[in-house]
């Protein structure tokens, strides 16, 4: 409990002093036994009880003046964490089942877990294939973010391919108005850059100029495995050589101060996001609004009840008329 106006407590010893000083003075006014016999007779203990209740009531009223408060909740009104743009490849090769059930689904689950641990960070979601698109701009509403991520499918973009340069450019566009001290892009892909109007090296140079770090993640084993259905309705798996431009991803990360990672299986991808989570810890400034519950009404009502009881007991209830 906190007292907003604690200095009113200084009145308590003054009230006690004046109250008992008055009682001593009033005792001197009885100059003869005859007057005492003619006056009302009171029981000593009950009389003191009335005085005690009166003083207690005054003390409670003084406590009401101090505005006692209990902290109810703390509401953040301004906070700054890390601004993160996640660029997710949704090209057809991400349907490869070398990751069960497929690369895209494993990436989605891993990113969702990463988001859950970044409560203080604004995160944007970019999807890309033959072009790139902002799915969700920077937001602290991670429920909407994860809902949108869960709705992403291979049909979310109508142009196949892998436009890495475009993905970086769209991510930079999301981050260009950010006032955060730390801005990063996490780029996850399983293919070579083969689409889009922007060269990946040009985009990474722009990221370097903007102070944006890019973490690149190459996803998939050495072969891409897809499921096909033959004319008899049987599902068969076909494997073909696939991969990505590892040197390109390494260079992008190196140029921007980020890191390159290779995820050959789901466990490796999970560990990569855990590593990024450790590397990019949120150091943020936050101003809080503290909401208090005022208790002065409780003290005021209690004080008034005690004061009235004290006066009643002292002056009326315990007085005996001879």
Asked if residues 121 and 104 have their Cβ atoms less than 8 Å apart, the reply is no
Give the pLDDT of residue 10: 80
Average pLDDT over residues 284-297: 68
Q: Where are the alpha helices (DSSP H) in the chain?
A: 11-27, 33-38, 44-65, 103-116, 142-151, 164-175, 200-210, 246-256, 266-279, 296-312
Domain residue spans of the chain: 2-73+291-320, 81-279
Above 70 in pLDDT, residue 221? yes
pTM over 0.85: no
Which has the higher per-residue pLDDT, 72 or 143? 143
Above 60 in pLDDT, residue 66? yes
At 178-205, the pLDDT tens digits run 988 899 999 999 989 999 999 999 999 9
Give the pLDDT of residue 295: 79
Give the pLDDT of residue 287: 57
CA separation for the pair 313, 320 (Å, rounded): 12
Q: Which of 255, 268, 245 is nearest to 213 (CA)?
A: 255
The CATH class for the domain spanning 81-279 reads alpha beta
Above 80 in pLDDT, residue 145? yes
Q: Which of 14-18, 57-61, 75-79, 86-90 has the highest mean pLDDT?
A: 86-90
């Amino acid at each position: 409990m906190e007292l907003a106006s604690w200095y009113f407590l200084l009145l308590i010893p003054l009230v006690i002093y004046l109250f008992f000083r008055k009682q001593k003075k009033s005792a001197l006014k009885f100059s003869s036994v005859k007057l005492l016999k003619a006056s009302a007779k009171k029981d000593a203990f009950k009389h003191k009880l009335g005085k005690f209740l009166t003083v207690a009531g005054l003390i409670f009223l003084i406590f009401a003046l101090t505005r006692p408060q209990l902290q109810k909740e703390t509401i953040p009104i301004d906070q700054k964490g890390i601004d993160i743009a996640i660029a997710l490849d949704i090209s057809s090769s991400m349907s490869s089942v070398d990751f069960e059930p497929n690369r895209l689904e494993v990436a989605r689950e891993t990113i969702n877990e990463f988001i859950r641990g970044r409560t203080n960070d604004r995160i944007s979601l970019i999807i890309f294939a033959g072009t790139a698109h902002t799915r969700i701009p920077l937001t602290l509403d991670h429920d909407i973010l994860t809902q949108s991520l869960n709705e992403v499918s291979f049909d979310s973009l109508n142009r196949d391919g892998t436009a890495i340069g475009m993905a970086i450019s769209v991510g930079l566009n999301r981050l260009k108005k950010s006032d955060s001290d730390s801005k990063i892009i996490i780029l996850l892909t399983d293919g070579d850059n083969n689409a889009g109007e922007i060269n990946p090296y040009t985009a990474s140079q722009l990221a370097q100029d903007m102070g944006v770090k890019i973490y690149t993640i190459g996803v998939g084993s050495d072969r891409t495995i897809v499921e096909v259905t033959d004319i008899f309705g049987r599902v068969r798996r076909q494997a073909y050589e696939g991969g990505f431009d590892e040197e390109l991803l390494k260079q992008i990360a190196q140029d921007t101060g980020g890191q390159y990672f290779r995820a050959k299986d789901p466990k490796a991808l999970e560990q990569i996001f855990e590593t990024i989570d450790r590397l990019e810890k949120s150091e943020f400034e936050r101003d809080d609004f503290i909401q208090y519950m005022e208790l002065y009404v409780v003290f005021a009502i209690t004080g008034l009840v005690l004061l009235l009881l004290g006066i009643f007991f002292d002056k009326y209830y315990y007085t005996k008329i001879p």
